[in-house]
Amino acid sequence: MLRCVTLTLIFAVSVVVHGDDIVKAPEETGEFVSLFNGIDLIGWDGDPQLWSVKDGVIHGETTEEHAAQGNTFIIWKDGTTKNFELRLSFRCNATNNSGIQYRSKHITADNVRNKWVVRGYQHELRNETTLPNVSGFIYDEGGKRGRICLVGEKAAWEADGKKVTEALIDQDGWMELFKLDDWNDVIISAKANHIQHYMNGRLILDFTDLDPNLTLLEGILALQLHAGKPMWVEFKEIRLKDLR
């Protein structure tokens, strides 16, 4: 997630509902393709000074000596994400944040700060439990809409810029769900303009993008290292199912 402040005019309409009903993640069925072999970064492209394989997982790390020149990503090169279900596990430290880009675009313009700039939908990754700054919300990386859908929301972004929301999960529920300083399981499900994020077996947001000019229906998959303070993030068991 970018740390600059973007002022976007959004009209929010709240719908009062009860968020007590737990929606569990679907069972893992069907044919998944493993995107990482646990040995090397074949099929991925990122800054070799920042990304490596460590103890069988994808390890991204920035330091004072090797800082990120702007947000930078390691990009999966063997396909795109359209209608899909992605499953993986991650962990990171608390000094900075990371993210999973999907249905996104690799930006190769002359004015970008590194060779691995990506823009589009991002599943935010953080190591904290205080709402709204928690892992799992949808961020518009490189775009104008900022935090499109927060953890705990069932939301629709209307074509006229209004955001209609209902409640899915409260703060107490999130604090019990997320595992600080440990591996957390992520599922991202996307079918046409409907997106769902799951964390550790529970639905944490439900988003429908109804803006015909901003909805993203297909694009690349990538993993983020954030510019700024030194940080590390790790990923394992990355697997993808096509939902045609």
Average pLDDT along the chain: 91
Q: What is the tally of helices (H) and strands (E) in the chain?
A: 1, 20
Of 39-53, 69-83, 124-138, 215-229, least confident by mean pLDDT is 124-138
pLDDT of residue 174: 78
Q: Indicate if the pLDDT at residue 211 is higher than 90.
A: yes
Q: Indicate if the pLDDT at residue 29 is higher than 90.
A: yes
Q: If you classify domain 30-242 with CATH, what class do you get?
A: mainly beta
pLDDT of residue 21: 67
CA dist 38 and 33 (Å) reads 14
For 171-180, what is the mean pLDDT? Answer: 83
Convert the pLDDT of each residue in 57-98 to its tens digit: 999 999 999 999 999 999 999 999 999 999 999 999 999 999
Alpha carbon 129 to its chain centroid, in Å, reads: 16
Cβ atoms 220, 57 nearer than 8 A: no
User: Domain residues of the chain, as ranges?
Assistant: 30-242
pLDDT of residue 22: 84
More confident of the two residues 15 and 41:
41
